[in-house]
Structure 1
Amino acid sequence: MSINADFRQRAVVRPEEAAWTPSPTPGVEGLPLDRCGAHGACATSLVRFAPGAALARRRREDGEEAFVIEGAFTDGDGEHRQGAYLRDPRGSSHEPSSETGCLLYVKRWRFEPADAEPVSIEADAGEWRKAGEGFAIKSLHHFDGVTTFLVRLDPGASVTRMLHPDGEEMLVVSGACSDGARDYSALTWIRDPGGHAQSLSSRDGCTLFVKTGHVGAAAKEAERLGD
């Protein structure tokens, strides 16, 4: 099943307009954002664990990254609280669970073979760098032209910039923002093929999870996988 699999097109998913789908494991459900390939080789989702829910240990042949939006998540190597960022490279395995319940943003896609270092960044780690009046950036990961970072807009702040020519993906983690034509509430997901100017503002402040430089490669991978 394909979902928003044409990476040449802009895609927006608002949480109030999408449906949560129960998984075969009780207490775990997902809200799919994009998916390509017959077995979901490329997939982006919001995943929710009820308190006490757990999945069996699983192996990721291609790689997976996750951001903890709410609650606390355990992957078998430790507990990761709200604001943590995790990367499991090709061939790694983990045993996901949550004692208290959590909400995750999860991307499963084909990591480059050389991109083999696991990453675990907790919310209180890393430095917020001021990038302009009223907004700051925290770097999470960079490899071969693909960059992942958090953006924090202060109340009343605005920023105008060129989107990456190889596309960008953004999740509104908290708060709300606007591009002048549309408003985006918390948990809204936006994928853009890039290469044009974008203006964002936030009346009350917001935090964004942003990934750049990967959409063009994802489009080629989706075409290769087909359905």
Structure 2
Amino acid sequence: MEINADFKARALVHTNTIKWVPSPMAGVDRRMLDRVGGEVARATSIVRYAPQSAFSQHTHSGGEEFIVLEGVFQDEHGDYPAGTYVRNPVGTHHIPRSDPGCTIFVKLWQFDPDDQEQFAIDLNTAALTRDPANPGVSRHVLAKRDYEHVSLEVWEGGTSLPLIHSGGLEILVLDGALTLDGVTYREQDWLRIPADEAATMTARKDGARLWIKRGHLREIRIPGQVA
């Protein structure tokens, strides 16, 4: 299966226009944002757990990171309410479930195997630092690696920035709205900009709260392919 699989092209998705697709587990549905592979895949998705639903125990052979967007995600390690950002490195395993139901944004098979730091951060209480080069932007760095840089960013209304990175970038709109080329992207919409391509984005009048990953599109790891 291939969805937005050309990583040299922009992928700009209004998530609520994508149909929910059932997963192999009852009560767990997905909106696929990008995907290369079958049930084991390099994938970026919005995943919805119905109340009292669960996924079978599994190991993250390519790593996993996710943000809880709504409800409460649960596994044997604890409960993760809306606003939690989690990184589970290559080799970790768990039994995910949600008693009340939840929606998460999740990325699979996109970890460097040497990156073994596992953690969870509450984005609702993360301390923000003003960007001295861009006064309308405040951020909290979530993960800074050789192969990627991940941050929570808050853009004040009207803030306009030309974003570009030699390793590409990806944005999930958490709250508020921003525009690109006259098109508005709102909560849970997703944008992927390829390496070395500039894209000027502007926060709407109420501002925008964004999850942004930079640099991770230099090398694309696909399950089953030799690096």
Fold-level similarity (TM above 0.5): yes
Alignment correspondent of 1:152: 154
After superposition, residues 23-172 of structure 1 pair within 5 angstroms as 23-131=23-131, 132-154=134-156, 156-172=157-173
| Mapped contact 1:175–1:207 kept (Cα < 8 A) | yes
Counterpart CA distance in 1 for 2:53 and 2:158 is 39
Counterpart CA distance in 1 for 2:173 and 2:53 is 25
Structure ranking higher in strand proportion: 2
Q: Could you say what secondary structure the match of 1:202 adopts?
A: strand
Judging changes above 3 Å, is the alpha-carbon distance between structure 1 residues 206 and 16 closer, same or farther for their aligned structure 2 residues?
same
Q: Could you tell me how far 1:108 is from its partner in structure 2?
A: 0.3
Counterpart CA distance in 2 for 1:81 and 1:107 is 18
Counterpart CA distance in 2 for 1:88 and 1:217 is 20
Q: Could you tell me how far 1:123 is from its partner in structure 2?
A: 3.0
Counterpart CA distance in 1 for 2:223 and 2:98 is 35
| Mapped contact 2:109–2:223 kept (Cα < 8 A) | no
Structure ranking higher in helix proportion: 1
Which digits, 9 at most, give the CA deviation of each residue in 1:129-187, with x for residues without a partner?
11233331111112114011111123x23131341111001111122111252111211
Alignment correspondent of 1:5: 5
Q: Could you tell me how far 1:64 is from its partner in structure 2?
A: 0.6
Which digits, 9 at most, give the CA deviation of each residue in 1:61-112, with x for residues without a partner?
1101001111111122011111111111111101111121111000001422
Q: Could you say what secondary structure the match of 1:29 adopts?
A: strand
Q: Could you tell me how far 1:47 is from its partner in structure 2?
A: 0.4
Alignment correspondent of 2:192: 191
Structure 1 residue runs without a partner (length 5+): none
**Aligned residue identity for 2:28:** V
Counterpart CA distance in 2 for 1:167 and 1:223 is 21
| Mapped contact 2:13–2:33 kept (Cα < 8 A) | yes
Q: Could you tell me how far 1:194 is from its partner in structure 2?
A: 3.6
| Mapped contact 1:14–1:189 kept (Cα < 8 A) | yes
Q: Give the stretch that moved more between structures: 199-208 or 5-14.
A: 199-208
Counterpart CA distance in 1 for 2:6 and 2:161 is 26
Counterpart CA distance in 2 for 1:135 and 1:35 is 31
**Aligned residue identity for 1:170:** I
Number of aligned residues = 223
Pairwise CA RMSD of aligned residues? 2.0
Judging changes above 3 Å, is the alpha-carbon distance between structure 1 residues 110 and 152 closer, same or farther for their aligned structure 2 residues?
closer
**Aligned residue identity for 2:146:** D
**Aligned residue identity for 1:177:** L
TM-score in terms of structure 2 length:
0.90
Q: Could you tell me how far 1:122 is from its partner in structure 2?
A: 2.0
**Aligned residue identity for 2:153:** V
**Aligned residue identity for 1:203:** K
